[in-house]
Amino acid sequence: MIAGRCSTCCRRTGGHLYTVGRLDADSEGLILLTNDGEFCQRVAHPSHGLLKTYRVTVAKRLEPEALEQLTAGLRDKGDFLKARRARLLSANNTRSEAELLLAEGKNREVRRMFKALGLRVLRLQGVAVGPVKLGELPSGKWPPLSRSEVASCLKPAGKAPRPGPPELTRVRGRFTPRVQ
């Protein structure tokens, strides 16, 4: 459904639409959409340090040792998968809910981590991208980010947001954006 809306939006604006974050068919939650490729790169790339938060429900009691393994890191198909933080939100004998903070967005990373621990994921929800939280936003809705949310997303990257169109400076006979 979102893919249909995105392509319609791109045709209308004549531009490209980029996503920060991704969800597979069995997941739900927050992704950011932007027409600014530089913003997307600065926010999405793991070198900039913006963390993504996920809420995961698994079909078993999640023991403290499993949480420690998630933060110590696991190997799966040649990839090293590691949560920056893993905390238990609730648990009983048949299911547990945990929150994970990730710095990278490898393909199906959260599901692969829990599978490596022998745990089946029942529900996976992306609940935050950096300081932008899903909250009570209904499925299929997309409010614009405020200037302060954009600035907060760019903070971990050590960059200040551009307040408007960049100032142009003449460099070698060409006009280029001024680097400050």
The 10s digit of each residue's pLDDT in 30-80 is: 988 888 888 888 888 888 888 999 999 999 999 999 999 999 999 998 899
Cβ atoms of 97 and 57 closer than 8 Å: yes
Q: Of these residues, 24, 26, 36, 76, which one is catalytic?
A: 24
CA quadruple 88, 89, 92, 96: dihedral positive or negative? Answer: negative
Residue 168 reports pLDDT greater than 60: no
Q: Distance (Å, rounded) from C-alpha 132 to C-alpha 149?
A: 7
pLDDT recorded at residue 112: 94
pLDDT recorded at residue 107: 83
76 catalytic per annotation:
no
Q: Determine phi and psi for 33, rounding to 5 degrees.
A: -115, 135
For domain 2-156, say whether CATH 3.40.50.10800 is its number: no
Q: What is the pTM of this model?
A: 0.77
Q: Which helix (H) or strand (E) holds 18?
A: strand 18-20
Nearest-Å Rg of the Cα atoms of the chain is 19
Length of the chain: 180
